Chain A
Amino acid sequence: MTRVLIVEDDPQTVKEIMAALHDHGFAVDSTDTGREGLLKAAAENYDAIVLDRMLPGGLDGLGMLATLRTAGVETPVLILSALSGVDERVRGLRAGGDDYLTKPFDFLELTARLDVLLRRRSAAPQRETMLRAGSLEMDLLTHTVRRTGKPVELLPREFRLLECLMRHAGQVVTRTMLFEEVWNYHHIEATNVIDVHIGKLRRKLDPDGARPMIETVRGAGYILRAAG
């Protein structure tokens, strides 16, 4: 079972994160200071750490993270912060964080991002040239896509959108994650625009009458069903 450590000082937030992660099927541990978090993270083998930036007692989130990385612990870390600035985000990632989520956040966003971090860790590091999901094939070298052997014509952006979904096949990918990964910008309020892009992609991918491969996850994002 996937084990996640939460380092967060607000008990109510801890309770909610624990509940959300538990529902998602993770085993969850928590602590409320950086010092204790550091000890636990170093001593036990967690699969991921959810770390609040603001922590009481001298050692804050980034300090703890930097110490952890210096000690050679490479557990993926997702930073939670009330600070939303781009430079804050950069500081967080530079200190050794793997992802950065600004409070307030949707729990579906949190679990989706944790899934990505966990997958990244377990995935083989070699470069893939071919992505497969069910009847869908994507050749990353020739930039071609086939559904059940038939070629699908995609625009460059649609190709990247599908690539992102295929890399995380079977996992929820939120609209913000898609936006950040495919368009390379942060902050977008107009997430409904992404729905339109997905709609176009769907029409190209799915033959008439077939069950759509890209499913909408209500209030969260999309999931590409490998079984489709």
Chain B
Amino acid sequence: MSDQVSSPGEATAEKKEDAPGPYGFGRAFRDSILEGHTLTIIVLAFFTAFVIGGLLNAFTNTTVLHAWGSFFSAPGHAIAATWDTAVGAYVEMFEGSIFNPHTVAQLFQQASIGTAIRDGYLSAVFNPLSETCVQATPLILAGLAVALPYQAGLFNIGAQGQIIGGMIVATFLGFGVSLPFFVHVVVSVIGGFAGGAAIGGLVGLLKARTGAHEVIVTIMMNYIMAYFLAYLLSFGYLMQAPHTSNAISPPIAGNAHLPLLFGSHLRINAGFLVALACAAGIWWLLNRTTTGFEFRSVGKNPSAARTAGMNVERSWVLVMLIAGGLAGLTGAAVIQGTDFTLNPQSYGTYGIDAITVALLGFGRPLGVVLAGLLFGALHAGAPLMQSVTGTPVDMVQVLQAVIVLFIAAPPLIRAMYRLRAAKAGGVGGVVSKGWNA
């Protein structure tokens, strides 16, 4: 637009001139926000989300509410109770997901290093991190399944359906065939990839051939696959386990389990390495290959891509094929890494979480890994938090949602933190223009 002549950076410079004053930390802090430093935005978004989460937690807690009920007789008590509840939950979450000091104390009470290792006390120290990685594995893989199409201009809402596709094939190969150890794992994993790729590729094909919008098609595929899974698990001659009336598959063979990385006491398995390798692979694909160049061109400007001789339709099919495969790997990692059987709820909320993870990771592979680890940590810490402080695990969902809300809407964060800045003169345009000027 002709009237939008100032970029956010320029607007900041302008403001500096308008309001000269001591250039202290607070000012530098504010200016860095106005300049739209993404890192600052992210840090503030997390900070805000955790504060809001903490308050929400505290004020839904009956003890805290009782304390506030007698605020005028014991104000200190009310505030202390609020603080304890809010912070206590986070402490437990930290202990459950990263590091728990109690486990170290127990480690040092052991007679010797040998017994410590044998009885799993050493593993206990690393258990929180292991759980974080286990939880992060499907989130990273599924996040990539959304992030990759995003780079090519497609919105993959269908990770769920593709995950189910992968789970079905991986499970079937897991219990249906008998193969030697290493071979069985690999065959099942590849089967999982193929199962997801088939569903994703179908979506790409429909879009390329008929112009059907991928959002609609993927959403519909989610329903189709969910009910298809329920159907498969309802009949013994299909995938239902024998001698049961429950909708559950037989357990997969031990040979098909993803190998544990650090012994039997820790659940962390090769799936995590697969996830990291996929992230690295996708980065390489996007940034170092002609195919990735095509994907990114098609994503940013399909008509220029077409004019430059790229086959836009082929890119759509290919990108959905790979994305479906990644989602399929998610399914394989869950079945072969932690669940070992398939039931109608096995796919959980990974398909939806994938979108959140991809959003938080700005659609980039490294971002997806970090976002996956973060959400993995939240998930891993939740059970301990609930058992110790009584905070419901749903708190984690709220936290996730609030973090993503703030990350996805930087103007919100800017607006919130400018409220604390006394004078707002001369920067009126920044909020409205900041993100897309």
> Is the pairing of A and B real?
no
Which B residues have a C-beta under 8 Å from some C-beta of A? none
